[in-house]
Amino acid sequence: MKRVVYHNSNDNDYQYRIRGAIKYMAKMLNQLKPGDVGIVCRVIGNGAVKRRLLDMGLVAGTPVKVQKYAPLGDPMEIKVKNFNLSLRKAEAALIELS
C-alpha cells in the first residue's frame, strides 16, 4: 500500500491519502492554542492518571475549549462540561482530539 503525506501549512493538519481516502491525523490537546475547541476522541495511557482524567469528565465525545496557558506555558486551563480544569502539558498530551 502506498502512502503519501500532504502537509497543509495553514493549520498544521496532516492528511494521509491511502487508496483515494483522506484521513486527518488527530491532534493532541496540548497542541491547541487558546480559543481552540476540540472533541475528545480517547484518553491514551493507563493507570491512575487516565482514571483521574476520565473521572473529571474527559470522556469520548466531550467538547473541550482551551482557555489559556500559564505565563511559562505550563499548566494550561481548559473548559470542559461547564467548568474550568487545569492540566499539565504532559497530561494534556494523553488526550487525543478528533
The Cα 76–Cα 89 span in angstroms is 7
Domains of the chain, with CATH numbers?
A: 26-97 (2.30.30.90)
Q: Contact 30/76 with Cβ under 8 angstroms? A: yes
Tell me the longest C-alpha to C-alpha distance in the chain.
45
Q: What is the dihedral sign for C-alpha 50, 30, 60, 78?
A: positive
Q: Is the pLDDT of residue 1 over 60?
A: no
pLDDT digits (tens, 9 = 90+) for 59-73: 999 999 999 999 988
pLDDT digits (tens, 9 = 90+) for 8-57: 444 444 444 445 555 556 789 999 999 999 999 989 988 899 999 999 98
The Cα 84–Cα 80 span in angstroms is 6
